Amino acid sequence: DIVMTQSPDSLAVSLGERATINCKSSQSVLYSSNNKNYLAWYQQKPGQPPKLLIYWASTRESGVPDRFSGSGSGTDFTLTISSLQAEDVAVYYCQQYYSTLPFFGPGTKVDIK
C-alpha cells in the first residue's frame, strides 16, 4: 500500500499571506509512460463534502482560484495558497490515485492567524 503523510497537521496564516502544505508518498506516484503524477488535492470545509482542487499534482480544477497551486513530483508534493482568504479556512487532503488503493493523507487544517 502507498502511505500518504502530510505536514504540518495544522497551520495558521494571516490574511493575504502564503500557506504551504506538504504531502509525501511512501513510493513514487509518477507514472513513467505518460510522465504524470497521480496526486490530487482536496479542500473540505466544515459540514461539506471534499472538493477537488488539483489533479495530476499541478492541474487546477475548473473554477478553482489561481491562488491555489500544486507542485512536486515522485514522492514529494506541495499545495500553496499564495494569498490566504477567509474562505480558504478548511482541511486540505492529498490523495494518490497511482495504485488501485487510492488512499488519502491525514489532512492539514488551515486557519486564520
Partner 1 sequence: QVQLVQSGAEVKKPGASVKVSCKASGYTFTSYGISWVRQAPGQGLEWMGWISAYNGNTNYAQKLQGRVTMTTDTSTSTAYMELRSLRSDDTAVYYCAREDESNRGGAFDIWGQGTMVTVSS
Q: Using CB under 8 A, list all residues that contact partner 1.
A: 36, 38, 40, 42, 44, 49-52, 55-56, 59, 61, 91, 93, 95, 97, 100-107
Q: From CA 90, how far away is CA 34, in angstroms rounded?
A: 32
Cβ-based nearer residue to partner 1, 16 or 100: 100
Cβ-based nearer residue to partner 1, 25 or 95: 95
Sequence-ordered list of residues with C-beta below 8 angstroms from that of 84, at least 6 positions apart, any chain: 13, 14, 15, 16, 17, 18, 19, 110, 112
Cβ-based nearer residue to partner 1, 10 or 83: 10
Fill in the amino acid letter for 64: V
Residue 80 C-beta: closest distance to partner 1, Å? 19
